[in-house]
Amino acid sequence: MSMNLIDQIKQSAANFLKREFNHDIASDQLQIDATRKEFKGDYTLVVFPFVKVMRTRPEDAGEKIGAYLKAQIDDIDGYNVIKGFLNLELSPAFWIKTLAEKVSSNNWLEPAKQEETILVEYSSPNTNKPLHLGHLRNNFLGYAVSLMNAYTGKRVVKIQIINDRGVHICKSMLAWKMHGKGETPSDTDTKGDKLVGKYYVLFDQHYRAQVAKLVNDGMSEEQANKEAPLQKQVQEMLLQWEQGDPEVVDLWKKMNGWVYEGFDATYERMGVEFDHLYYESDTYSKGKDIVLRGLEKGIFFKKDDGSVWVDLSEDGLDQKLLIRADGTTVYMTQDIGTAVQRYEDYPDLKQIIYTVGDEQDYHFKVLFLILEKLGYAWAPACRHLSYGMVDLPSGKMKSREGTVVDADDLMEEVVAAAKASSEEKGKLDEMSDEEQEALFEMLGIGALKFYLLRVDPRKRMMFNPEESVSLNGDTGPFVQYTYARCKAVLRKAGNYQKQLESTSLEDKERGLLKALMDFRPMADAAAAEMNPSAIANYCLDIAKLYNQFYHDHPILKAEGAVRDVRLALTEITADTLRTAMGLLSIGVPERM
């Protein structure tokens, strides 16, 4: 629906209430929704809030407002009232005019003007293992939220904090130093992040064996976890790193370099990118300085062993460690420094969105509260995009045990499935080998993205390998196929008359057009709610509506104005699907 007409209806209703009942109400406070399918009408104005002011029954209030609106607005053809709901029927001329405007315009789907700056953080991996299935959901989610916000008027800076230091990183380093025998990615023909991840798993295996032996010798498990020789060695290595030990720092640089090369290859195939990279090794010291200044001001406190803490018990939380007794820092300290650094780098910044799983909900409550206590005025604008974790049928993924679904392997699998399915269906003879490979990549990666994004981010999801590679049903390839079908129709039709002559629309034509006109408000709401699943499910709805229309109404065999209308609907359907899927970073093929 034309937003101008929505505004006109709201303003006219507000004017009526002011003139007849001396009731002031801002027009944007009036609620207009799509009319429910079981009732006649296109859009519904909720009149319950005005019944008391108008001193009448809901039905009579609806009749009075409806009569006024019909008299004032030419595009309203009729109305009916169901209790406190005023159902407005728009004229056939309005729908044809709307369709003609959209198909003749080159800018109705253009992004909004970018104004305030926001940062969206996603991915943020540790440099001790390759990216896995959980990282895929994180990256696809964060990148889609970035694209959605940019489309609806934000200047978005896409960022990640690379967790390149700490105990977990030292575990891989120590294991390679003890067992690696100098092997490198190049001489083992292994992707760098996978080689480092192998030693992270190896460390855990040897560490668990040491703990088990200590427990068997009579030590408590809690004490054994602390007293295991490998645990003490890895803590010592972290301390050496923070003190700048040349040998440790050189090993750290070498192994991180291997990981970055591996990450870059994975990100490229994912189709995600970043504008600014932050490194924990750069920001942890800033966080430590901020915490020490907070200690001097009495915001934090020091325990007898020299460790620094914050007491949040009065805020309903607990005490949180910020600096260990040996002077080394924790993730929270690094996050404090990184947040402050970002606002220094982007002085006009209005918001930071952290895309991190809901297992870290408590961490971000603590972080945002600490930032407020430190006096940063921007702290309340920080938001945690909390999403449900991805489970496997066999249980929870654990990186240190090697029980993860590797991101590279999974992407390879879905592309292979797309290839097998496409070859089975045929219709690829006109494509070159290069075009076919590009199509398989688009379909496979698109299927995976759509599978992970169409679930509400807040919901925990089960990853079903068979469903993820299926190209049938409510999937990304179904939407991609619908787009390709639209383009095939338009190619066969050639040029057509876009200055549409007056004609009426069939029910399914009008239903499709109404859904297409809902794209802008839907996209705005999805961006505000940080919910790409709304975009994905909208794409499915449009694809289904178009295919129903396509099957019920001849397009190429139609004649005159009717043919033009149906081709115009086909064209704006394709444009809308391409734009909407683009917000999910999913490509659509011209042929399929």
Q: Which pLDDT belongs to residue 403?
A: 58
CA–CA dist 387, 458 (Å, integer): 5
Decide if 149 contacts 156 (C-beta within 8 A). yes
Q: Which of 480, 489, 490, 400 is nearest to 448 (CA)?
A: 480
Question: What are the Cα distances from residue 102, in Å, to 177, 504, 505, 533?
Answer: 64, 17, 16, 25
CATH 3.40.920.10, applies to 420-583: no
| 402 class by beta-carbon count within 10 Å (0-12 exposed, 13-18 middle, 19+ buried) | middle
**Amino acid present at 486:** C
What is the fold of 3-90?
Gyrase A; domain 2 (3.30.1360)
Tell me the pLDDT of the chain (592 aa) as tens digits: 445 888 899 999 999 999 999 999 998 899 998 898 899 999 999 999 989 889 999 999 999 999 999 999 999 999 999 999 999 999 999 999 999 999 998 788 999 999 999 999 999 999 999 999 999 999 999 999 999 999 999 999 999 999 998 899 999 999 999 999 999 999 999 999 999 999 999 999 999 999 999 999 999 999 999 999 999 999 999 999 989 999 999 999 999 999 999 999 999 999 999 999 999 999 989 999 999 999 999 999 999 999 999 999 999 999 999 999 989 888 899 999 999 999 999 999 999 999 999 999 999 999 999 999 999 999 999 999 999 988 877 655 444 444 578 999 999 989 998 888 887 777 777 889 999 999 999 999 999 999 999 999 999 998 776 677 676 789 999 999 999 999 999 999 999 999 888 788 998 999 999 999 999 999 999 999 999 999 999 999 999 999 999 999 999 999 999 999 999 999 999 999 999 999 999 999 999 8
Q: Assess contact for 372 and 381: CB atoms under 8 A.
A: no
Instruction: Provide DSSP, 481-542.
Output: HHHHHHHHHHHHH-S---SPPS----HHHHHHHHHHHTHHHHHHHHHHHT-HHHHHHHHHHH
E-strand ranges in 271-389 read 276-279, 301-302, 308-311, 319-323, 349-357, 383-387
Tokens for 158, please give them. Answer: 């896409």
- Of the CA atoms within 13 Å of residue 297, those in its CB half-sphere come to 11
Q: Residue 592: name the closest of 462, 450, 446, 460 by CA.
A: 446
- State residue 395's pLDDT score: 53
Q: In what helix (H) or strand (E) does residue 202 lie, and over which residues does it extend?
A: helix 192-216
- How do residues 442-493 score in pLDDT, each as one tens digit? 999 999 999 999 999 999 998 776 677 676 789 999 999 999 999 999 999 9
Q: According to the model, what pLDDT value does residue 499 have?
A: 87
Asked whether the beta carbons of 265 and 147 are under 8 A apart, the reply is no
pLDDT at 465: 65
Q: In this structure, which CATH number among 3.90.1150.10, 2.40.50.100, 3.40.50.620, 3.30.70.1520 belongs to the domain 122-401?
A: 3.40.50.620
Res 389: pLDDT: 86
| Residue 535 token pair | 């975009």
* Residue 397: predicted pLDDT: 44
Strands 155-162 and 383-387 come out as unpaired
| Per-residue model confidence (pLDDT) at position 399 | 45
**Cα–Cα distance measured from residue 586 to residue 536, given in angstroms and rounded to the nearest whole number:** 10
Global pTM value: 0.91
The candidate with the shortest Cα–Cα distance to 125, out of 265, 316, 259, is 259
Per-domain boundaries in the chain: 3-90, 122-401, 420-583
Distances (CA, A) of 117 to 237, 278, 298, 347, 408: 40, 18, 33, 9, 33
CA distance linking residue 392 with residue 12, whole number of Å: 54
Long-range own/partner contacts, residues 203-212 (CB < 8 A, 24 or more apart)? 203/171, 203/172, 203/174, 203/175, 203/230, 203/234, 204/171, 204/400, 204/401, 206/175, 206/230, 207/171, 207/231
DSSP state of 28: G
